[in-house]
Amino acid sequence: MLEAGTKAPNFTLPDKEGNTVSLSDFSGKTVILYFYPRDNTPGCTRQAQGFAADYEALKAAGAEVIGISKDSAASHKKFAEKYELPFILLSDTELEAIKAYDVWQEKKQYGKVSMGVVRTAYIIGGDGVIEKVMPKVKPDTNAALVLEYLDSKGK
């Protein structure tokens, strides 16, 4: 897991329309970068809906929301349309950003060990430095905790 105070690794990945998006495109803006395991699963859907519900408040706080998973751009397109998600979803099928942000880790579920994305959120300042790391976040409270953090900064 990367730590606060670390320069955020840049990446360039396709969005749900197939357009390339880079972290460096958001220089000068606060970025809420959240990694999640999979589109259309119960936890990931609740997490995305939380960010969608708080999206206007997050934008008003000067932040852009970007969700990343290893799902395809086509999967992201269906997911975003189904739940009316207003923010950016990026496809990382090659695990480029997922590994760079150290969220591809061993997971244990029902006694079975496998590799997967650990649900994590990073708040990256306009200078490209990670301000806050939220490891193993709960899907239902992630967006609210991010907003609380931004409000506490007085943005």
pLDDT in tens, 49-101: 999 999 999 999 999 999 999 999 999 999 999 999 999 999 999 999 999 99
- Point out the residues that are catalytic: 44
> What domains are there in the chain, each with its CATH number?
27-153 (3.40.30.10)
Q: Could you tell me which of 89, 93, 66, 64 has the C-alpha nearest to residue 79?
A: 89
pTM, two decimals, is: 0.95
How far apart are alpha carbons 124 and 35 in whole angstroms? 13
Q: Could you tell me which of 14, 13, 15, 16 has the C-alpha nearest to residue 81?
A: 16
Question: 16-37: per-residue pLDDT in tens?
Answer: 999 999 999 999 999 999 999 9
Residue 133 in this model has a pLDDT that exceeds 50? yes
